[in-house]
Homo-oligomer: A and B are copies of this chain.
């Protein structure tokens, strides 16, 4: 991985703290996190003080920081629960963000070695992506790999990669119904590959284990899609999935790449899937409307950065959906507009 690299001080690792005692989480990640700057954002709904072990370079943010910066109304609207990490994306001053859920620890590969998820994410972002033609040999820039016979030479330079989506061993990111139906299912298969998701192919992003180029894509990673009866378990939320579709259409439009695959993290159990199933989980229905919408939209050529793409998507959401019947989408569109405003204030250089 020598030929592509990113300097440590261009990276923020952002952790949304949904539990108060981060000791075992941080200790598990110490070999990979300790040389980086960390931003820890405490879930505004969490009452207890955070416990963070020594030996890390950390800036911590809590509800009072958010209230001061954006007001308490926006804080509760945008930064509750899993969404608290987005506050860290906003206040970061660095080019790259890595974000990992606090119920995940480093995975082991098939040889029993701990996976350095940080280095793998940074390699994914630093090396080009290939969204315009599918390479059956997976990531062609990886050591020992290349482009397959027939791959057009004019496309072998690739395009910048702005988003790296990692995967999960042990507990995969299934939805509430699937998780409840297969409570014993565990993901044990380590697939040793990274691939670029082709342009125009729709996918779900999961916010559990991701990295992105904040300068290029930051505004597209946005909080604010709330299910009416959203739970406080990952599988009861859709905020990251919806934001991921915004990010994917933005990347396709800007001709930049999204990768998926390595790195894996080991995901611990949290929550009771059967209890989740008892709720009226509207995430299922939401995607039936959201996917055709995102597949159909064409962003105008005037939208030349992520902020402008997001404002266009917000506009299209409002044109397409009914404020009463599809209030979740309309609220999300409003949140997108607020988010872009906040982003413009936070990152004046990009305007």
Contact = CB atoms under 8 A, between A and B. Distances in A.
Given A191-B192, A191-B193, A206 B288 contact: no
A103 to B, nearest CB: 15
Given A146-B174, A291-B133, A153 B284 contact: yes
A187 B174 CA distance: 32
Give the dominant DSSP class at A's interface: loop
Interface stretch (A8-16, A22-30, A165-173): A165-173
A124 to B, nearest CB: 14
A190 B167 CA distance: 18
A5 interface: no
Interface stretch (A69-77, A194-202, A211-219, A315-323): A194-202
Given A153-B287, A175-B149, A185 B138 contact: no
A229 B199 CA distance: 34
B185 A283 contact: no
Contact of A189 (B144, B155, B189, B204): B144
Contact of A291 (B152, B167, B203, B241): B152
A202 B146 CA distance: 17
Nearest to A248: B134
A229 to B, nearest CB: 16
A176 to B, nearest CB: 8
B288 A191 contact: no
B191 A138 contact: yes
Given A201-B134, A202-B134, A288-B152, A144 B192 contact: no
A234 B148 CA distance: 12
Interface in A154-184: 154-155, 165, 167, 172-175, 178, 182
A136 interface: yes
B146 A185 contact: yes
A188 interface: yes
Contacts of A167: 136-137
A235 B149 contact: yes
14 contacts: A110-B110, A144-B187, A144-B189, A146-B172, A146-B174, A146-B178, A147-B175, A147-B178, A148-B174, A150-B204, A150-B238, A153-B288, A191-B193, A200-B201
Interface of A: 110, 133-138, 144-155, 165, 167, 172-175, 178, 182, 185-193, 195, 197-204, 206, 234-235, 238, 241, 244, 260, 283-284, 287-288, 291
